[in-house]
Amino acid sequence: MTATTPKLNPVELQKLEKDGLAVLEDIYRYAQSGDINEVTESDMNRFKWYGLYHDKPKDGFFMLRVRLPGGIMTADQADAIVHLAETVAPGRVEITTRQTFQLHTIALRDIPTVFETLESVGLSSIEACGDVPRNVVSSPVAGIAADEWIDPRPFFKALDEHFAYNTDYSNLPRKYKVSVAGGGLDATQAPINDLSFTPGRKEIDGEIVLGYNVWVGGGLSHEPHLAQNIDVFVPADLDAVVEIARAITLVYRDFGYREKRNHARLKYLIADWGAERFREEVVNYLGHPLERAATDVPPAVYSGDVVGVFRQKQPNLYWVGLLVPTGRITPAQIREAARLSREYGQSEIRLTHSQNLLLPYIPEARLDALLAEPLLQELQPNGPRIQRTVVACTGLPYCNFATIETKEAAWQLAGALDQKVELDVPLRIHLSACPHSCSQHSIADIGLQGGVIRNPDGSKNKLPATDILLGGALGDDATIGRRVATKVPWSELADRLGNLVTTYQAQRTSPEDQFRHWAKRQTDDQLRVYLGFGEPETEEGVWTEEGSWNKSR
């Protein structure tokens, strides 16, 4: 029982019985045995606190997610990932939407080896999953973007150090995601995190102070919510930022809902309380008043696209963004990226929200040589417009919730659209294999939520299909996409989306008229027509009560 929950769900009872962080000794014991059948159901759930999920088909092999604040890693750390992938994690290596790596097909007996290898290079998987503060994200160009207001790197590192392996936060009601922005190009995904810091300036006691506005309650999955500004400004001081983050997280810990797992994220508490009441409780926990939010803030821009060659704010230095096909990267490619970062840069590699890879600190005089390297012919900095921002969740065959294969399907779809239309602006297509929205399809220009439909030939083999959401966005005009069609056969998707994007291209008023702006001006019926479903009142355009699918299907 908590302040807001009279009855606890079974997972909450398990956490009261034994904290998630307390399972480490048990993991080593289970690994020594190597028998997956010895792992209790409750301990299997606690494995998440150490970044481990039981891969499909749950036969003793695991996915491990690395904790990598801000997506920044050294070449030596990248080499450690390669070593694991080539020895004890032979499954697919993926870059995630939260700027880290996932490794698949790790046997129970090999988990200690993974932990020890990560620790040897200053990495870990602690609290990369579970009901805890997850990997703190930021802009992939933090500290190097020319128009950045604040370098967020010291702040997300301080928050990571404060949250990680801290039993004050090891029993939150649900997962808890944090982001820290610096402003400028490709600002971080503040609207969809539980706790976000975005830059601002405010006059305090006659002086202009640089700092952060604070947002809470963002999150996607089945019921997406955008974060709310709680009207708080904190100076750009490490102690001040950690202090407010601590208070906010403790309020969530103590008042968050724990009766239903699908109604436990911070977004539900914020929706019920409102921003002002939540702010008041945070002030109570702090014991001192807070400044109201700054109104002098930079534009919040989010394109998801840092692929290419860009000048850094540091003189004569560039970053080069490499296109990784829906985040799937081989150990050999990671090894080569590490080598290139040493030879051309400063032994640093960055991972992006769009599942791509970035090499920073490249001297201008060495750009041509880097661009001629074989790896950059595979992971092309000048990749096709739509493929460079396409995002896909893990999907089949690894994810237990997935209904369809996603990685190759999304890549091929984006490639087909690049062949059909030639765009001069980013177009973000995100594909998830279930409603959990691990690809963040709710905030994509074109969001796809995969599923299956009955085979018209009457066989038991179901066919891949997708719901279509349009007009999602991040940044100043953050919006949840509108679900305009459901259960669209995958075989029809490239043609239908090709029609849609071609119509957008013909109707847009200027290059600044982004897809989300255009989609907002259209009715759902108009968008369905552009998808090729026919006029609303015709036999081909009659929609079900869900407002989406053609009755003739």
Verify that 99 and 173 share a domain, yes or no.
Answer: no
Into how many domains does the chain fold? 4
Q: Using an 8 Å Cβ cutoff, are 231 and 276 in contact? A: yes
Rounded to 10°, the helix 238-255/153-163 angle is 40
Each residue's pLDDT, cut to its tens digit, for the chain (553 residues) gives 466 777 999 999 999 999 999 999 999 999 999 999 999 999 999 999 999 999 998 989 999 999 999 999 999 999 999 999 999 999 999 999 999 999 999 999 999 999 999 999 999 999 999 999 999 999 999 999 988 999 999 999 999 999 999 999 999 999 999 999 998 665 679 999 999 999 999 999 999 999 999 999 999 988 999 999 999 999 999 999 999 999 999 999 999 999 999 999 999 999 999 999 999 999 999 999 999 999 999 988 888 889 999 999 999 999 999 999 999 999 999 999 999 999 999 999 999 999 999 999 999 999 999 999 999 999 999 999 999 999 999 999 999 999 999 999 999 999 999 999 999 888 999 999 999 999 999 999 999 999 999 988 888 889 999 999 999 999 888 999 999 999 999 999 999 999 999 999 999 999 889 999 999 999 999 999 999 997 765 555 444 434 344 433 3
**Residue 176, Cβ density class (10 Å: 0-12 exposed, 13-18 middle, ≥19 buried):** buried
Q: CA 211, CA 238: separation in Å to the nearest integer?
A: 10
Verify that 409 and 522 share a domain, yes or no.
Answer: yes
Verify that 111 and 149 share a domain, yes or no.
Answer: no
User: Residue 4's pLDDT is what?
Assistant: 72
Query: Quick check: is 3 in a domain?
Result: no
Q: CA 183, CA 200: separation in Å to the nearest integer?
A: 9
Q: CA 490, CA 407: separation in Å to the nearest integer?
A: 14
Q: What is the CATH number of the domain that holds 67?
A: 3.90.480.20
Cα 316 → chain centroid: 31
Query: Quick check: is 255 in a domain?
Result: yes
User: Residue 460's pLDDT is what?
Assistant: 85
Query: Quick check: is 2 in a domain?
Result: no
Domain termination site, one of 120, 150, 176: 120
Query: Quick check: is 550 in a domain?
Result: no
Verify that 426 and 463 share a domain, yes or no.
Answer: yes
| Max CA pair span of the chain | 75
Verify that 242 and 265 share a domain, yes or no.
Answer: yes
Expressed in angstroms, the distance from the first to the final Cα of the chain is: 48
**Residue 429, Cβ density class (10 Å: 0-12 exposed, 13-18 middle, ≥19 buried):** buried
Verify that 266 and 141 share a domain, yes or no.
Answer: yes
Two tokens, residue 97: 């939407």
Q: Using an 8 Å Cβ cutoff, are 9 and 261 in contact? A: yes
Question: 362 Cβ partners below 8 Å, 6+ apart?
Answer: 317, 318, 319, 320, 344, 345, 370
Verify that 424 and 532 share a domain, yes or no.
Answer: yes
User: Residue 549's pLDDT is what?
Assistant: 45
Proportion of the chain above pLDDT 90, given as a percent: 89
Q: CA 498, CA 97: separation in Å to the nearest integer?
A: 25
Question: 537 Cβ partners below 8 Å, 6+ apart?
Answer: none
Question: 310 Cβ partners below 8 Å, 6+ apart?
Answer: 141, 185, 318, 319, 320, 321
Verify that 100 and 237 share a domain, yes or no.
Answer: no
Q: Using an 8 Å Cβ cutoff, are 465 and 453 in contact? A: yes
Q: How many CB atoms lie within 10 A of CB 508?
A: 15
Domain termination site, one of 383, 399, 416: 383
Q: CA 349, CA 81: separation in Å to the nearest integer?
A: 12
Q: CA 509, CA 430: separation in Å to the nearest integer?
A: 25
Rounded to 10°, the helix 24-33/111-120 angle is 130
Q: Rounded mean pLDDT of the chain? A: 94
Q: Using an 8 Å Cβ cutoff, are 103 and 85 in contact? A: yes
Q: What is the CATH number of the domain that holds 340?
A: 3.30.70.3340
Verify that 450 and 436 share a domain, yes or no.
Answer: yes
Q: Which domain holds residue 339?
A: 308-383
Query: Quick check: is 291 in a domain?
Result: no
Query: Quick check: is 106 in a domain?
Result: yes
Two tokens, residue 250: 């403790």
Query: Quick check: is 167 in a domain?
Result: yes
Burial letters 137-153, b for 16+ CB under 10 A, else e: bbbbbbbbbeebbbebb
Q: Are strands 195-204 and 207-216 parallel, antiparallel or unpaired?
A: antiparallel
Kindly list the distances between the CA atom of residue 449 and the CA atoms of 207, 282, 374, 444, in Å, as whole numbers in the listed order. 49, 36, 35, 11
Verify that 334 and 412 share a domain, yes or no.
Answer: no
Cα 378 → chain centroid: 24
Q: What is the CATH number of the domain that holds 209?
A: 3.30.413.10
Q: CA 189, CA 228: separation in Å to the nearest integer?
A: 13
DSSP assignment of 499-535? HHHHHHHHH-SSTT--HHHHHHHS-HHHHHHHTT---
Two tokens, residue 509: 């008023």
Q: How many CB atoms lie within 10 A of CB 284?
A: 10
Domain termination site, one of 286, 318, 348: 286
Question: 281 Cβ partners below 8 Å, 6+ apart?
Answer: 251, 255, 273
Verify that 378 and 468 share a domain, yes or no.
Answer: no
Verify that 421 and 367 share a domain, yes or no.
Answer: no
User: Residue 186's pLDDT is what?
Assistant: 58
Query: Quick check: is 126 in a domain?
Result: no
Rounded to 10°, the helix 111-120/75-87 angle is 160
